[in-house]
Copies of this chain bind each other. A is one copy, B any other.
């Protein structure tokens, strides 16, 4: 059996996460039991939700246990199979974790999904045609429920989730305005993703400025908002929200380090008769087939070309992860685990 490398969580962050919270170890892959499959990971997905799992305490998921392999989505190929549905060479998506190989009991429902890489590059199954894409689809379609002509805003618009929200909302005839950090990301959101506009929040550092920028580019107000960040962005959107505006609350990345991030004026929920709803896409498995079909078609046809930031090698994962939490990535953050 091949030699494996793994990254474990070895301590919990006090405030900001750091590389010291992780440790790279080597070990053997275990021999395959009947029904099991050995997968070599080609890409590891890095996602903001992982920061929440590093904390102890109440959240929607159990904390990541200390001393165990960090959880994470992976796409890779079957190396060896003792399950009739999988053969060496098959491309599969799963939650393989921060490691080079995983051994999977393929009889457990949903742990492995075979994917077709003829039209869609495998890495996109961790992004636009994977969990982030379905997250975008669920929040937009099921919570925001956009109508043609409505104005939809999206924070972290250059990211894996935000970019998909915008493309899906454009498909539905909406005016779509992104919020992102820096001129490069804003240009990508406007010019490559096809958003109608993108606000650089770094140019509008306080609530008043950001609300003013939203007012300028959303003259008819905001009907729906997809929130990946929280804090000032959400406060500003609430000031410009129309009656019956919907907010899909997907991430509060600004609050992951422990400091609570208050909502300045929740009375606006009443004044604007808003609906704010938090969700986790893994609790809505019933939408995945429909969502993946639409997203696969958009990516496969080339109408949606999501960018990726790719770090090379498992050892680079902690730095890449911390950089993503600070917004240093551009599009979907991945770690490539094989050499070309």
* Shortest Cβ distance from A143 into B: residue: B275
- Partner of A249 from the list B262, B270, B277 (CB cut-off 8 Å) is B270
* Docked pose: A259 CA to B251 CA in angstroms: 28
A95 at the interface (CB under 8 A from B): no
Given contacts A60-B243, A243-B60, contact A273 B266 (CB under 8 A): no
Q: Are A260 and B264 in contact (CB under 8 A)?
A: yes
A108 at the interface (CB under 8 A from B): no
What is the CB-to-nearest-CB distance from A195 to chain B, in angstroms, rounded to a whole number?
A: 24
Encode A270-286 as 1/0 by CB contact (under 8 A) with B: 11111111111001000
A50 at the interface (CB under 8 A from B): no
Given contacts A60-B243, A243-B60, contact A274 B278 (CB under 8 A): yes
Known: A261-B266, A275-B277. 10 other contacts (CB 8 A): A60-B270, A60-B272, A255-B267, A261-B265, A261-B267, A262-B266, A269-B277, A269-B278, A275-B275, A275-B276
* Docked pose: A60 CA to B273 CA in angstroms: 8
Chain B residues with Cβ below 8 Å from A255 are 265, 267
Q: Which residues of chain A from 227 to 257 have a CB within 8 Å of any chain B CB?
A: 230, 234, 243, 249-252, 255
A59 at the interface (CB under 8 A from B): yes
- Partner of A262 from the list B60, B252, B262, B274 (CB cut-off 8 Å) is B262
Quickly give the copy total for this chain.
Answer: 2
Given contacts A273-B283, A278-B271, contact A266 B230 (CB under 8 A): yes
Chain B residues with Cβ below 8 Å from A264 are 260, 262
Chain B residues with Cβ below 8 Å from A276 are 269, 275-277
What is the CB-to-nearest-CB distance from A55 to chain B, in angstroms, rounded to a whole number?
A: 11
* A interface SS class: loop
* Shortest Cβ distance from A276 into B: residue: B276
* Docked pose: A274 CA to B280 CA in angstroms: 11
What is the CB-to-nearest-CB distance from A197 to chain B, in angstroms, rounded to a whole number?
A: 23
A87 at the interface (CB under 8 A from B): no
Q: Are A251 and B270 in contact (CB under 8 A)?
A: yes
- Partner of A234 from the list B230, B265, B266, B272 (CB cut-off 8 Å) is B266
A263 at the interface (CB under 8 A from B): yes
A3 at the interface (CB under 8 A from B): no
* Docked pose: A269 CA to B276 CA in angstroms: 8
* Shortest Cβ distance from A254 into B: residue: B267
